[in-house]
Amino acid sequence: MKKDFLTLLDLTPQELAGLLQRSREMKQSPDPGHCPLLGKSVGLLFEKASTRTRVSFEVGIHQLGGQSIFLSPRDVHLSRGEPLHDTARVLSRYLSALVVRTFSQETVQILAKEADIPVVNALTGLTHPCQALADLFTIQENTDQLKGTRIAYLGDGNNVANSLITGCSMMGLDLVLACPDGYDPDKGYLENGRRLASRSGGSVQVVRDPTAAVSGARFLYTDVWTSMGQEDEARKRRRDLAPYQLNTELLSSASEDAMVLHCLPAHRGEEITDEIMEHPRSIILDQAENRLHTQKALMEWLLS
Ligand code: CP
């Protein structure tokens, strides 16, 4: 049976731990002779802009011996009304997998249901599971063990936050999200995260006070305040989210060895200051690099 990766819940906690282990092996001992995607073509259907996700998938597919085909809305007939189910069935006749960045979670669900090939969610408005894979891997690289590690997420409870909740609660981390009223993560993801955390020994809390959230945290994580498609709300968002800016003062309230994460792109001077982006304890570029290693492990798992 084909496998899809639409949320982290498409993996068991054991499979997730295995992917993180495999990511580590691929990062530490790259093997140019290992080509599980030899002779395979992978489509990248992207309806939204991307730097990291697009390039890391294309490079990763190439490194695994495969070929990537980038499909923007203007390249395919979807934007001219060709139904999703026809698109999914036709692409299944050519491709070995389809990586999709789109607006609605329903779109990736329909594509996965109709396609005979694995479908990977490369970001929707609700989730960003590929990002969460790299986030967990980056945390694991910088701490003894994931279980019991405290992480504070600051700002907008967006798609990145929703997937982080799932990943942290599957792996037993203690996640505190500091969000202003009206910016909480998705309720369903929070409830499910709490259920998962009760099994893994982790915890998920939402608080309003950013200083309380970072207290004792080993990792501080933030993301843009205005995601793609929310540009009309940018002014209000800047005002509402201003107290949640990741700056020197907030970093000094965290654990003394706390490290900084950001999924990028960053808006310096909004959710994070220039100083913190460039801080010696910022591991943001490692986190971006780790998109490559974790997605290679994911592609290998989906297609081997
Ligand atoms: N973090 C992330 O998904 O970056 P891109 O939007 O550049 O792909």
- pLDDT given for residue 25 in this prediction: 98
* 135 bridge partner residues: none
263, 287, 293, 295: the active-site residue: 263
Own/partner pairs, 233-241, CB within 8 angstroms, 24+ separation: 237/156, 238/270, 240/180, 240/182, 240/183, 241/155, 241/156, 241/180, 241/183, 241/270, 241/271
Residue nearest to atom 7 of ligand 1 (CA): 51
52, 54, 101, 150: the active-site residue: 101
264 Cβ inside 6 Å of ligand 1: yes
| Spatial distance between the Cα atoms of 73 and 79, rounded to a whole number of angstroms | 6
Q: Quick one: pLDDT band at residue 144, thresholds 50, 70, 90?
A: confident
Tell me if residue 223 is catalytic: yes
Is residue 229 scored above 90 in pLDDT?
no
Residue nearest to atom 3 of ligand 1 (CA): 53
Give residue-wise pLDDT tens across range 3-28.
999 999 999 999 999 999 999 999 99
Average of per-residue pLDDT across 18-42: 97
50 Cβ inside 6 Å of ligand 1: yes
Q: Quick one: pLDDT band at residue 261, thresholds 50, 70, 90?
A: very high
Tell me if residue 208 is catalytic: no
| pTM exceeds 0.75 | yes
Backbone CA torsion sign across 240, 242, 243, 246: positive
Tell me if residue 291 is catalytic: yes
Is residue 249 scored above 90 in pLDDT?
yes
CATH, range 8-128+290-303: 3.40.50.1370
Give residue-wise pLDDT tens across range 118-131.
999 999 999 999 99
Average of per-residue pLDDT across 249-264: 97
135, 156, 186, 223: the active-site residue: 223
228 Cβ inside 6 Å of ligand 1: no
Average model confidence (pLDDT) across the chain: 97
158 Cβ inside 6 Å of ligand 1: no
Tell me if residue 263 is catalytic: yes
52, 128, 237, 293: the active-site residue: 128
Give residue-wise pLDDT tens across range 160-194.
999 999 999 999 999 999 999 999 999 999 999 99
Average of per-residue pLDDT across 23-45: 97
55 Cβ inside 6 Å of ligand 1: no
Is residue 268 scored above 90 in pLDDT?
yes
- pLDDT given for residue 119 in this prediction: 98
Sequence ranges of the domains in the chain: 8-128+290-303, 143-282
263 Cβ inside 6 Å of ligand 1: yes
Measure 201 CA to ligand 1 centroid, in angstroms: 30
| Spatial distance between the Cα atoms of 83 and 228, rounded to a whole number of angstroms | 24
| Spatial distance between the Cα atoms of 6 and 30, rounded to a whole number of angstroms | 27
131 Cβ inside 6 Å of ligand 1: yes
Give residue-wise pLDDT tens across range 52-108.
999 999 999 999 999 999 999 999 999 899 999 999 999 999 999 999 999 999 999
Tell me whether the omega of the peptide bond preceding residue 210 falls within 30 degrees of 0, making it cis.
no
Backbone CA torsion sign across 139, 261, 135, 206: positive
Determine the atom of ligand 1 nearest the C-alpha atom of 122.
Answer: 3
Is residue 230 scored above 90 in pLDDT?
no
Please check whether the two domains, 8-128+290-303 and 143-282, share a CATH topology: yes
Is residue 304 scored above 90 in pLDDT?
no
Q: Into which CATH architecture does domain 143-282 fall?
A: 3-Layer(aba) Sandwich (3.40)
Measure 20 CA to ligand 1 centroid, in angstroms: 20
Is residue 218 scored above 90 in pLDDT?
yes
Q: Quick one: pLDDT band at residue 201, thresholds 50, 70, 90?
A: very high
